[in-house]
Amino acid sequence: MQAENVIGGFTLTDTHTHIYYQAGTPNLAEQMNRCFENSVNRLFLPNVDLESIPQVMDTVKAYPENCFAMLGLHPCSVGEDYKQVLDSIEQEIPKHKIYAIGEIGIDLYWDKSTLAWQQEAFRRQINWAKDLGLPISIHCREAFDEVFEILDAEQDGRLFGIFHCFTGSLEQAKRAIALNFVLGIGGVVTFKKAGLDAVVKEIPLEHLVLETDAPYLAPVPYRGKENESSYLFHIAQKVADLHEISIEKLAEITTNNSIKVFNI
């Protein structure tokens, strides 16, 4: 249940996908087959809460050569019981092979009232990652100042990872890179009025990885529809065009970047 051949002779890596939402349905095999047809052969899966852990692990079990797990508590899943939930997730970590703590961070788009809880959950999970020698996958929505404040305080040389779904300015991109993070570039780079294309064009490719965040944020030409990891091909083509290189070269560079982050 894995790709026997790399179509086109190159490998694209989706560093952030929720394809595991399809676990237990025929859609999973269908979507994975479309991934293989589009050279998407490496997929990294962040859970969002306790309930999603079995879905992640079932997907990894079905595609052990292609799918790789992360564990964490999504900031939008941080509620009054977050301390107990974090305790439960922490107990799950030794039971599984994981490659990052994620997705974690701060989201002030949906609910600003939980900021203090989100900040504490973020700090605690950052320290899991540092103690385990793992990267983190950061969710940051309308919260760059708050995220950077914590990263500045926690960076002791052991902190690294990916700014998932990066949509910030060039200045914010450079600040993230200076903090030892690479930028996860997704479907927004294909949106005409988003402005992310201008930022990505200015960032050396050594600081970029690719992602879909499927089933969210589908790239053009699928914008507004449900996203899936096979659509990473369109994101890769856009970034390759911005840097005036072939998609094969772009795939090589960004996959190598992902290998450096996840150590696989």
pLDDT, tens digit, 9 for 90 and up, residues 112-170: 999 999 999 999 999 999 999 999 999 999 999 999 999 999 999 999 999 999 999 99
Number of residues that make up the chain: 264
51 band by pLDDT with thresholds 50, 70 and 90: very high
pLDDT the model gives residue 7: 46
Q: Are 198 and 169 in contact (CB under 8 A)?
A: no
pLDDT the model gives residue 3: 38
Question: At residue 220, does pLDDT exceed 70?
Answer: yes
Alpha-carbon span 120 to 109, nearest angstrom: 18
Which candidate, 108, 45, 43, 47, places its Cα nearest to that of 72? 47
Q: What one-character-per-residue DSSP string does 118-181 give?
A: HHHHHHHHHHHHHHHT--EEEEEES-HHHHHHHHHHH-SS---EEETT----HHHHHHHHHTTE
Question: At residue 1, does pLDDT exceed 60?
Answer: no
pLDDT the model gives residue 2: 38
Question: At residue 221, does pLDDT exceed 50?
Answer: yes
- Starting at the edge strand found earlier in the chain, the sheet holding 161-163 runs 12-14, 40-46, 67-71, 98-107, 136-141, 161-163, 181-185, 208-210
Question: At residue 197, does pLDDT exceed 70?
Answer: yes
pLDDT the model gives residue 9: 82
Q: Which of 2-6, 144-148, 210-214 has the lowest mean pLDDT?
A: 2-6
Which percentage of the chain shows pLDDT scores above 70?
97
Classify 92 in phi/psi space as left (phi over 0), alpha (psi -120 to 50) or beta: alpha
pLDDT the model gives residue 4: 36
pLDDT the model gives residue 6: 43
pLDDT the model gives residue 56: 98
8 band by pLDDT with thresholds 50, 70 and 90: low
Contacts of 13 (CB under 8 A, 6+ apart): 40, 41, 42, 43, 44, 209, 210, 254, 255, 258
- β-pair type (67-71, 98-107): parallel
Mean pLDDT of 243-263: 98
